[in-house]
Amino acid sequence: MSTDVDHQKPSEVLYEHTPAVAIAASDVSLDDSMSTRSSSSSVPTEMTEPPTTDDKMEGPSETEVSETSNRILDVILEYSLNKFDSTAELHNAGRPKFLAVISRFIRARQKVVMCLPAFPFKSANKVEKVLGTLPDKAEELALGRLDSMCATIGQFYEPGAELTIISDGLVYNDLLGISDQETWRYGSALRAMAERKAFSHLAFSRLQDLVPVKNLPDDLVELSYVANATNFRRTLLNMHGRDGDIDIDHEIATNPDTLMTYRGYCRFLESDLQYIYGCVPKGRTRAYKRDVKYLVKQMLIRGYAFAGAVKARFPNHLRLSIHQSTGEHKISLSLLNTKTGFTTPWHCSVALMSDGEWLSALMSDFKADPLLELVEEDGRPSYFKEVPRQRPYLNGRSRSPVADKEERLVGRRAMACAS
């Protein structure tokens, strides 16, 4: 579910324009910080200490640090989750903390590295929300948007920026009716998409990179990943879990971020799971909603453990989020360019309008629209596209066949009356 525990707000309908993805030459090698060890498992190099400036190199002035840090933060905020009235206020509240994180990289003349828990797996609701189990055009647009953000920073800050996507699929998939195998295949296809599209400012990390599990192969494949999925989850909870001492009801009642996440999860999961746990066609009954709330609380408990693992693994990275929050600790991003609606590609489908505008909504809504046709890529459904409207009155004919026929009938009646 790509959960940060402390922030989430679901979306309803989306309008977006095709992102202008600037692909700049990357200065990142496979041995660089935050880069990948292999195409199947992108494991960032751990950064345990804040960036430091080489004593032999004169660092930038504080004026330069301040100006560059503010400019970088402004770029990131252009991609933020800005569909709420409180967005500007939240940005101002968290700005000093985020500038402090960014400025450390600027002083050291190092790449600005960010991390974002996201892209877990496609929604369990394949009836209404998504086209299938693998990434499609919606994910491509989202990855392109994130890569474009980093590329824009690189245009004025020479060391550049890089964003690591941390998949939290294994943290929650067993609770939501998604198999370990489906989670692996989604993540692998996502990495292949990023490589194929040359999104060179993105890196990837899985749960296996956050927790130590003994006797793992050097490079996990689908079989060994699935075989160890339970071990990854168990180790996560053993190392970072608070199952024995956390009062999740108290957290929901007293922590605004947790409350937002709780409410968001409840709304999402009611629709995500309605075809999994048999409440259709009866509808979302009171008992079903009660069970969803129980499931959400289990997710929150795991989410606290996952957040702890992310903080331990990426202690000095600029922390990004896909969920609404108070803005104190993380910058909330919109993965799809919209002020309202679906902003996470694994919960929706996308459609390309004839004017170049992208829309995002439920797959079932697009499918029911007679002016949209389904487009396949790589042999499977990927997105919808607006069908060109038929305009016979613009095809050069002075009269349409229908008009000609109607006029002939009128003329015949008139002649009959005259006789």
11 or 137: whose pLDDT is higher?
137
Which of 3-7, 186-190, 275-279, 394-398 bottoms out in mean pLDDT, i.e. has the lowest? 3-7
pLDDT at 86: 54
20 or 14: whose pLDDT is higher?
14
pLDDT at 242: 76
Is there a domain that residue 18 lies in? yes
Residue pLDDT, tens place only, 329-342: 789 899 998 655 78
Mean pLDDT of 392-418: 51
Is there a domain that residue 2 lies in? no
Q: What is the rounded distance in angstroms from the CA atom of residue 305 to the CA atom of residue 394?
A: 62
Q: Six-digit token pair at 338?
A: 């919209």
pLDDT at 18 over 90: no
Are the CB atoms for 313 and 46 separated by under 8 Å?
Answer: yes
pLDDT at 56: 57
Using a CB cutoff of 8 Å and minimum separation of 24, what contacts does 265-270 make?
265/1, 265/3, 265/8, 265/296, 265/299, 265/300, 266/292, 266/293, 266/296, 267/10, 268/1, 268/8, 268/10, 268/347, 269/176, 269/295, 269/296
Q: How many domains does the chain have?
A: 1
| Residues forming beta bridges with residue 14, ordered by sequence position | 360
Is there a domain that residue 296 lies in? no
Quote the mean pLDDT of the chain.
81
Residue pLDDT, tens place only, 290-327: 999 999 999 999 999 999 999 999 999 999 998 876 66
pLDDT at 347: 94
What do you get for the CA distance between the two ends of the chain, in Å? 78
Confidence label for 9 from pLDDT (cuts 50, 70 and 90): very low
Q: Label residue 327 left, alpha or beta by phi (over 0 means left) and psi (-120 to 50 means alpha).
A: left
pLDDT at 388: 82
pLDDT at 70 over 60: yes
DSSP assignments along 353-389, one per residue: -TTSEEEEE-HHHHHT-TTEEEEEETTEEEEEEEPPP
Is there a domain that residue 288 lies in? no
Confidence label for 193 from pLDDT (cuts 50, 70 and 90): very high
pLDDT at 91: 67
Is there a domain that residue 1 lies in? no
Is there a domain that residue 369 lies in? no
**Backbone phi and psi for residue 116, each to the nearest 5 degrees, phi listed first:** -145, 110
Which of 19-23, 214-218, 239-243, 356-360 bottoms out in mean pLDDT, i.e. has the lowest? 19-23
Q: Which residues contact 350 (CB under 8 A, 6 or more apart)?
A: 16, 136, 137, 138, 141, 336, 358, 359, 360, 383, 384
pLDDT at 292: 92
86 or 66: whose pLDDT is higher?
66
Q: What is the rounded distance in angstroms from the CA atom of residue 34 to the CA atom of residue 250?
A: 37
pLDDT at 282: 59
Mean pLDDT of 79-98: 74
Mean pLDDT of 71-98: 80
- Helix-then-strand count for the chain, H and E: 11, 10
Mean pLDDT of 381-395: 82
* SS3 of residue 309 by DSSP: helix
Mean pLDDT of 135-153: 98
pLDDT at 355 over 70: yes
Per-residue DSSP letter, 13: -
pLDDT at 339: 57
Confidence label for 49 from pLDDT (cuts 50, 70 and 90): low
Mean pLDDT of 83-108: 81
Which of 6-10, 25-29, 100-104, 125-129 bottoms out in mean pLDDT, i.e. has the lowest? 25-29
Residue 284's CB is within 10 A of a number of other CB atoms, namely 14
Is there a domain that residue 154 lies in? yes
Q: What is the rounded distance in angstroms from the CA atom of residue 22 to the CA atom of residue 338?
A: 19
Per-residue DSSP letter, 83: -
pLDDT at 260: 85
Which helix (H) or strand (E) is 240 found in, with range? helix 222-240
Confidence label for 23 from pLDDT (cuts 50, 70 and 90): very low
pLDDT at 97 over 80: yes
pLDDT at 32 over 90: no
Q: What is the rounded distance in angstroms from the CA atom of residue 331 to the CA atom of residue 316?
A: 14
Per-residue DSSP letter, 273: S
pLDDT at 33 over 60: no
Mean pLDDT of 1-13: 44
Q: Which residues contact 29 (CB under 8 A, 6 or more apart)?
A: 35
Mean pLDDT of 132-142: 98
Residue pLDDT, tens place only, 107-129: 999 999 999 999 999 999 999 99
Q: What is the rounded distance in angstroms from the CA atom of residue 379 to the CA atom of residue 375?
A: 10
Is there a domain that residue 217 lies in? yes
pLDDT at 233 over 80: yes
Q: What number of CA atoms fall less than 13 Å from residue 237's CA on the CB side?
A: 17
Range of the domain at 24: 14-249+301-340
pLDDT at 209 over 70: yes
Q: Label residue 58 left, alpha or beta by phi (over 0 means left) and psi (-120 to 50 means alpha).
A: beta
